[in-house]
Amino acid sequence: MASEALLSEDALYSEIRGQRLLGFLLFLISDCILFSSFIFAYLYMRSSVAVWPPPGVGKADLYVAAVNSIVLFGSGATMHYAIEGFKHGKRGRFLGFMIATIVLGSLFLSGQAYEYSHLAQLKTTWPGSTYGASFFTLTGMHGFHVFVGVVFLIIVLLQTLRGTYDRHRYFGLTAATLYWHFVDVIWVALFFLLYVY
Amino acid sequence: MDQVVLERTIAVIGALIVGASALTSLAGEWKKTGLDDQVSKVMLGLLTVGCVIVILAATGVVGKV
């Protein structure tokens, strides 16, 4: 009788988890559409001028951005190791990689702040040019997502320490991992479009 | 060492390490079939692509300084 009740509870959780996952993926898709709109606007502005960035406008440093990108991509790898550690019951490994992810995410934001100050010295500002407007809008919006992600990770870490999740029920962790990977992948597109292309 | 050389070196070494980690993780995820696992596979694959772009940019193959 007790095992039947446990079984039905597991089935119910499995169904709820599926619905939550679908809802979260729909949220990520809507966020993807938001970024796509801004990327399209950037490409439209960029294609409407002969020289990009416009003459006299300071450009963001490719190599600083490359190092900063690796910091963010590295955090994606540590996040993956963190959730795998949790799934396999390795608490120390989970905590270490989770903290590493939070530190790397914060480092990325610091790198972005350094880049903004460098651009300010070059007189590249938000209202000063179409390049500045599109660059700061896209990277600022992404930076805001990273900031939200760092807060999300801290909350999930605290919840885990309080015992909210166990090896079979950890949707919050799954959502945090997917969100962090999403933030990483958006940066792949932004790095290519803003610095390389 | 020149700052630019240092930045490029860190970017290339970092991208190699992260790219290898992402590929290893992708191989580990490969046989999993859950929806979140499938999304993770796509994300890890794109992360690897990102590392390749960083290597190409840091080595001067693509991108304008």
Task: Give percent helix, percent strand, percent coil of chain A, each to the nearest 5.
Answer: 80, 0, 20
Interface ipTM: 0.93
Domain ranges of chain A: 2-196
A interface test, pick of B33, B53, B61, B65 with most A CB neighbours within 10 Å: B53
Domain ranges of chain B: 12-58
Tell me the CATH number for domain A2-196.
1.20.120.80
Residue with the bigger pLDDT between A35 and A3: it is A35
**pTM for the whole thing?**
0.92
**Pick from A116, A191, A110: nearest CA to B57:** A191
pLDDT at A8: 78
For B4-50, the pLDDT digits (tens) are: 999 999 999 999 999 999 999 999 999 998 888 898 999 999 999 99
pLDDT at A168: 84
Q: Label residue A56 left, alpha or beta by phi (over 0 means left) and psi (-120 to 50 means alpha).
A: left
For A91-101, the pLDDT digits (tens) are: 999 999 999 99
Interface check for B25 against chain A (CB to CB < 8 A): the answer is yes
For A67-126, the pLDDT digits (tens) are: 999 999 999 999 999 999 999 999 999 999 999 999 999 999 999 999 999 999 998 888
Task: Give contacts of B51 with chain A, Cβ < 8 Å.
Answer: 70, 73
- Our CA-based measurement puts residue A161 at a distance from the nearest CA of chain B, in whole angstroms, of 23
Q: Label residue A152 left, alpha or beta by phi (over 0 means left) and psi (-120 to 50 means alpha).
A: alpha
Closest-CA residue of A relative to B23 is A77
